[in-house]
Amino acid sequence: PVREPWTLEKLHHERSIALGFTIDKSTLGPYNSASNSYITFCKLHHFPVLPTEDTLSYYIVYMCAHIKPDSVDSYLSGICNRLENFFPNIRAICTSMLV
């Protein structure tokens, strides 16, 4: 599905709200789909693909508006798995309190 990009202000606002909620773990989804979803998000919002705490936390709040929030943890697992060879510190970023 086509998803409209959010402004940086909306991403920041939605992330702030989401920080108060815990994302439940769910079963791992298809790793390729998750990494493609992250790359598409970065392109839509003109972010570099380089994972950062900000980029991944914005991705989380954005995806929570489009899929079940319980599924986002599976997406992050897939993203870490597929992108770790290119960005070795991605797992450390994913364990950040902001993410």
Q: What is the pLDDT of residues 7-46, one digit of tens each?
A: 988 887 677 566 444 433 343 346 678 888 999 999 999 9
Confidence (pTM): 0.67
Residue 65: helix, strand or coil by DSSP?
coil
Task: Say how many C-beta atoms besides its own lie within 10 A of residue 5's C-beta.
Answer: 14
Q: In whole angstroms, what is the distance from residue 60 CA to residue 76 CA?
A: 8
**Inside any domain, residue 83:** yes
**Inside any domain, residue 99:** no
Q: Structural domain tally of the chain?
A: 1
48 lies in which domain range?
8-17+27-94
- Both structure tokens of 76: 């992050």
